[in-house]
């Protein structure tokens, strides 16, 4: 049963071929047996999971069940979970027990999903490899010497290794899509404001967005249906109805215009990845779609713009962790200044400190106009490029990441090289658009991700385009041999 999708598990649960309690125990045992090789989980909620599974079985028996009822999932450790540790992969919050559920967590619980535990992540979602976690790096199930991507690497590895049916992730500059690409799963970053950010610990508030990480586009549609929707507690949440994502999957894509970004297919893209993307695009042509070359002339500015905007917002958001109210507190502070300095120095890791310092500098007097304001102007230019592109096409396609998974430690001492892992994903966050990564053919035995980008609140079309490719290919069904 561990190898079935959400849709398949839902059918089996409703047909009473398996109970949620049996399925949950199976997944918990797989995590205990197999996860030591991956380090994808930081917390297991075994007792809570069994209780939720028992309640789900009762709902199924009473005929009061939906497609997620009884399905075991995991949550990225950035989402607050009531009475369960929420650490954000940081020593700063190592012992923080959240007193409430994030909206996304609560909605999935209401839909009947069973929470197996919390997944490892780059500290405060800052990283592209899951190596900055206080709990140590996560390992890619396809090759445990390589990274799974980040910051949602724990969720990606857990789904790829079939330790859970699906997981939640967050995407600030590619942190759902890039790990999805490197581990061979499907990851969706919705339009900014589509899912509530309430209870999701903030990194960069104008960029962060929650989304599902699943085995297939169909599963992502099921998850997003439960996760999306207006939340009055989040002032940035869009007040618009949730589309019929599952119903939209079946539509034909004949005549669909797929834009191929000229700037994404040149220098810096690994030859094997380029060949895999071309093969995936040829499948779309066979399905009746039309490929149209487009240009995003300011896309090359997305990385420098992002690494001004995101650190600036992170500097502001992480100022609350001062050792006074909650989070790590140093021992025996001499005075208030000592309390602040040592609590933050001890609680934050190197990458978080680096971004706080960059952001504080960019926001300081005399530099705000030169850096932060200019980066926001570039952000607008990038969004304008996308608007013009969607006059020529319906969906944009290209690579998710410039290469396949790299070895753990290879880029640890080169922050700029690490930042460039998100070169194809960051522009989507700066513009607030929806984007997703789905499996393409492997390169050198390792997964490759095809990125699909849609217009604002056009997740239904994105999921449809992804699903139609997955009906025609089996790339998304491949599983690491040791975890099959």
* Residue 149 DSSP code: -
**Which parts of 267-347 fold into alpha helices (H)?**
271-286, 302-317, 336-347
Residues in a beta bridge with 437: 187, 451
Among the options 175, 216, 437, 443, which is catalytic?
Answer: 175
- Write down the pTM of the prediction: 0.97
Are the CB atoms for 347 and 321 separated by under 8 Å? yes
- Give the per-residue pLDDT at 420: 86
- Whole-angstrom CA distances from 425 to 150, 203, 469 are 12, 17, 21
Helix (H) or strand (E) holding 398, with range, is strand 395-399
Condensed to tens digits (0 to 9), the pLDDT of residues 198-240 reads 999 999 999 999 999 999 999 999 999 999 999 999 999 999 9
Backbone φ and ψ for 417, nearest 5 degrees, come out as -60, -40
* CATH architecture entry for 6-251+454-483: Alpha-Beta Complex (3.90)
- Residue among 429, 418, 473 nearest 453 (CA): 429
pLDDT of 170 above 90: yes
Residues in a beta bridge with 214: 186
| 175 classed as catalytic | yes
Condensed to tens digits (0 to 9), the pLDDT of residues 401-416 reads 999 999 999 998 888 8
Q: Where are the domains of the chain?
A: 6-251+454-483
Cα gap 173→99, rounded to integer Å: 28
Among the options 19, 40, 76, 152, which is catalytic?
Answer: 76
38: confidence class by pLDDT, cuts 50, 70, 90: very high
Backbone φ and ψ for 395, nearest 5 degrees, come out as -140, 150
Cα gap 298→415, rounded to integer Å: 22
* Residue 207 DSSP code: T
- Residue among 190, 444, 443, 395 nearest 287 (CA): 395
CA 227 to chain CA centroid, Å, is: 13
Mean pLDDT of the chain: 97
Among the options 20, 151, 152, 302, which is catalytic?
Answer: 151
- Give the per-residue pLDDT at 326: 87
| 151 classed as catalytic | yes
Condensed to tens digits (0 to 9), the pLDDT of residues 349-388 reads 999 999 999 999 999 988 888 899 999 999 999 999 999 9
Helix (H) or strand (E) holding 354, with range, is helix 350-363
């Amino acid at each position: 049963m561990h190898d079935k999708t959400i849709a398949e598990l839902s059918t089996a649960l409703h047909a009473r071929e398996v109970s949620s309690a049996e399925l949950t125990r199976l997944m918990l045992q797989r995590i205990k047996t197999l996860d030591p090789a991956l380090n994808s989980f930081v917390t297991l909620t075994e007792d809570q999971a069994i209780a939720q599974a028992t309640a789900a079985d009762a709902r199924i028996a009473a005929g009061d069940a939906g497609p997620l009822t009884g399905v075991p999932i995991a949550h990225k450790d950035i989402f607050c979970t009531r009475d369960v540790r929420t650490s954000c992969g940081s020593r700063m919050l190592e012992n923080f027990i959240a007193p409430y559920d994030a909206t996304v967590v609560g909605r999935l619980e209401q839909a009947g999903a069973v929470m197996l535990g919390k997944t490892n992540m780059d500290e405060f979602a800052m990283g592209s490899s899951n190596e900055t976690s206080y709990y140590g790096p996560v390992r890619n199930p396809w090759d445990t010497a390589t990274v799974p991507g980040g910051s949602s690497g724990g969720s990606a590895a857990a789904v790829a290794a079939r330790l859970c049916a699906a997981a939640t992730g967050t995407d600030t500059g590619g942190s759902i899509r890039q790990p999805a690409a490197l581990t061979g799963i499907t990851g969706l970053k919705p339009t900014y404001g589509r899912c509530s950010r309430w209870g999701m610990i903030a990194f960069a508030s104008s960029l962060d967005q929650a989304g599902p990480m699943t085995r297939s586009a169909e599963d992502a549609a099921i998850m997003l249906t439960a996760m999306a929707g207006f939340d009055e507690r989040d002032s940035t949440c869009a007040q618009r109805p949730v589309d019929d994502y599952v119903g939209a999957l079946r539509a034909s894509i004949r005549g669909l215009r797929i834009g191929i970004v000229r700037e994404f297919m040149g220098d810096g893209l690994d030859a094997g990845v380029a060949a895999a993307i071309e093969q995936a695009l040829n499948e779309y042509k066979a399905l009746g779609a039309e490929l149209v070359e487009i240009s995003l002339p300011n896309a090359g500015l997305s990385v420098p713009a992002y690494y001004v905007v995101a650190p600036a917002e992170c500097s502001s958001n992480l100022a609350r962790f001062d050792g006074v109210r909650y989070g790590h507190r140093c021992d025996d502070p001499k005075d208030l200044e000592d309390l602040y300095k040592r609590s933050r120095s001890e609680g934050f890791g190197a990458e978080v400190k680096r971004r706080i310092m960059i952001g504080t500098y960019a926001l300081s007097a005399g530099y705000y106009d030169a850096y932060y304001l200019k980066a926001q102007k570039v952000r607008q230019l990038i969004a304008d490029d996308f608007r013009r592109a969607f006059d020529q096409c319906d969906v944009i396609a290209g690579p998710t990441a410039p290469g396949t998974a790299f070895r753990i430690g290879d880029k640890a001492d080169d922050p700029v090289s690490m930042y460039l892992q998100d070169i194809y994903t960051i522009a989507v966050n700066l513009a607030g658009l929806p984007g997703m990564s789905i499996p393409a053919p492997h390169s050198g035995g390792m997964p490759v991700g095809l990125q699909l980008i849609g217009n604002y609140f056009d997740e239904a079309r994105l999921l449809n385009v992804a699903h139609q490719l997955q009906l025609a290919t089996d790339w998304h069904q491949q599983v690491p041999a040791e975890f099959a």
